[in-house]
Amino acid sequence: MEANGEQYAANFSSIKEAQKRISLYIHKTPVLSSETLNAMSGRSLFFKCECFQKGGAFKFRGASNAVLSLDEDQAIKGVVTHSSGNHAAALSLAAKLRGIPAYIVIPKNAPKCKVENVVRYGGQVIWSEATMHSRESVASKVLEETGAVLVHPYNDGRIISGQGTISLEFLEQVPLLDTIIVPISGGGLISGVALAAKSIKPAIRILAAEPIGANDAAQSKAAGRIITLLETNTVADGLRAFLGDLTW
């Protein structure tokens, strides 16, 4: 699939392939509804509950797709990422299921509960400073030392394809959906969801949701280029990342 003559990192075919690859490992998460919220909103709302996914978040879809995509020569050296949260835990779990090492670069200010998840799933924690520059430089050093494969939290076609499997399930569970609202941070989730949903149902609307204190995606959309913020102000630590060139 192309946009303005440029090849996308993922497409409907890669998302369907991801679904076949990961189906034995992931949970097909439930869709719940609430009459109270329907009455408040004047809409029929359906919640795709990825909080019940393995690892506690949708991130396991992309992580398992990336890990299972590796050939044996790549896999034996393991995977590496820099992440302060759910992607770190998801990649650790996916690597554990395949029996390969996962090297996880985590900033020192990461929430304790998320660090504990990485350790519980067998990830090897390597500390960095909180800045993106430090995270990336430490990850580069680990790559050099181990020969492992970098799996970016969102700016990766394998990740985008895995996250897109949500739409395949959601539109099967609720075929009459006319709008999907998706949290946006780095953009891996909404990229996959939009590609799959629009392929199945071209008229569907995809809306991105982000905190006003971390609204870089809205600013980027308005400016027509990627905007990054000097600081963010939100308790949603998973929504503080900025768009990548692929998700953009």
Residues annotated as part of the active site? 59, 84
Sign of torsion, CA 86 91 93 94? positive
Q: Beta strand pairing status for 47-48 and 31-32?
A: antiparallel
Whole-angstrom Cα distance, residue 104 to residue 48?
28
Query: Residue 51 region, left (φ>0) first, then alpha (ψ -120 to 50), else beta?
Result: alpha
Cα angle at 237 between 171 and 177, to 5 degrees? 15
| Contact indicator for 67, 100 with CB cutoff of 8 Å | yes
- Burial of residue 173 (number of CB atoms within 10 Å: 0-12, 13-18, 19+): middle
The residue behind tokens 């909404």 is: 190
Cα angle at 79 between 75 and 85, to 5 degrees? 145
